[in-house]
Amino acid sequence: MNRCPSCGTVYPDDARFCTKDGTRLLGPAAAPPPIAATPPRPTAVPVRGAATPIAHTNLVGQTLQGRYEIVKKVGEGGMSFVYLANDIATRERYAIKVLSAALSQDTNAMARLRREASLGMRLAHPNICHIIRLGETEDGLVYVVMPFVEGEILADRTNRLGRISLSDTARLVNDMAQGLFVAHQLKIVHRDLKPENIMVCPRPGGPDIAVVMDFGLAKERRADAELQKLTATGIILGTPEFMSPEQLRGKPLDARTDIYSLALMTYEMLTGKLPFQGRTQQEMMIARLRSDPTPLRKTRPELEFPDAVEKVLFKAMQRNPDDRYQSAPEFAEAFTAAAATSGPGPGGAGGSGGSDSGLFGKLFGR
């Protein structure tokens, strides 16, 4: 399958360009972290302390509000730019997401961002890249401060290795489940869980850990009238190939929609492919609404997967949320136990794991 590096949409092997934004598609080889769309032309925005107005694309060397010294740009999207910055007082490193002038002046967008920031600041956890603060300069430049996370995007790792071993997959699934559980306890649903939103980070003296990124589409499960208005277009938010059936139908969402997406990701980590196939994006969505997932053994017949693993994934990908695991830890525990039933082998715990590439991944980008 070919994938659009901008929006993450998956296309058949013979497709060459994304039908949404015209971006050239990338094959199964390692792809760069996705960015939202073609960046807008730089808009000059004055920053306090600067002699002349500067562009969002050229903040290197500037200091935001006398605290954050911008070191370099590490990413950009259609409506924002992400920079590495040092705290002048503590010398700690942070990621600074600077919003475009157009977005900063959009009243509805800013109302949504402030709500998201208030939610994001409650998500401090080792397996979540959370929002630390939302800032605004006197000149109207709006920015979001987050931890600086280094590692390799999960999508890149799967592409690089072809597949991830059963033991490594179980460990990463457990990490993601722990982070999601913290959000779910706060009634927050990620709603855009996908390999491009997971960073696999090296840890000194221990195994790599998975960090859930980009809660920018997250929302409170029990949304009030204001939030419902701001997220009224929720059906088109998210990445179609990892959406749950209820999300495709525009139904109310809860933690179980993230569990479904996590199960899809787990399947792709194990096989390098998705459990629902189609010649077009629409066919893939219809398959999730009407069909059962393709068994692991049919997708990769040369590998040996335990029956227990197959059963766990099948339950987690049920179309009816009531038939799935009801919490992320419940799914992770069941999957870990199932993975432990196999010995070393092509599809068992002794598969390839790989090492970190040290690439800086996506940080809260759109």
pLDDT of 6: 63
The CA distances from residue 156 to 30, 74, 206, 224, 356, in Å, are: 5, 17, 21, 37, 10
C-alpha 359/C-alpha 207 separation (Å) is 17
* 83 plus 183 within the same structural domain: no
pLDDT of 238: 52
CATH of the domain at 117: 3.30.200.20
* 139 plus 180 within the same structural domain: no
* 258 plus 194 within the same structural domain: yes
Q: Tell me the sheet residues that pair with 341.
A: none
C-alpha 345/C-alpha 324 separation (Å) is 29
CATH of the domain at 184: 1.10.510.10
Question: Does residue 283 lie within any of the structural domains?
Answer: yes
What are 228's two structure tokens?
A: 């419902």
pLDDT of 56: 63
* 97 plus 190 within the same structural domain: no
Residue 188's CB: how many other CB atoms inside 10 A? Answer: 22
* 195 plus 275 within the same structural domain: yes
Domain boundary among 122, 147, 172: 147
Cβ 330 vs Cβ 324: under 8 Å: no
* 293 plus 328 within the same structural domain: yes
* 130 plus 158 within the same structural domain: no
* 63 plus 84 within the same structural domain: yes
Q: Verify whether residue 192 is a known catalytic residue.
A: yes
Given the residues 156, 168, 175, 192, the one annotated as active site: 192
pLDDT of 232: 40
pLDDT of 255: 95
Residue 325's CB: how many other CB atoms inside 10 A? Answer: 24
Question: Does residue 358 lie within any of the structural domains?
Answer: no
- The count of structural domains within the chain is 2
Question: Does residue 11 lie within any of the structural domains?
Answer: no
* 56 plus 133 within the same structural domain: yes
**Residue 140 belongs to domain spanning:** 44-147
Q: Tell me the sheet residues that pair with 286.
A: none
* 260 plus 305 within the same structural domain: yes
pLDDT in single tens digits along all 366 residues of the chain: 677 766 677 777 666 656 555 566 677 644 444 433 334 434 334 444 444 444 566 789 999 989 999 999 988 766 788 899 999 999 999 999 888 888 888 888 788 788 878 878 888 899 999 889 998 888 888 899 999 999 999 999 999 999 999 999 999 999 999 999 999 998 889 988 999 999 999 988 889 999 998 875 455 554 444 434 333 433 344 567 889 999 998 999 999 999 999 999 999 999 999 998 877 777 888 888 888 899 999 999 999 899 999 999 999 999 999 999 999 999 999 999 999 986 444 344 434 443 333 222 333 333
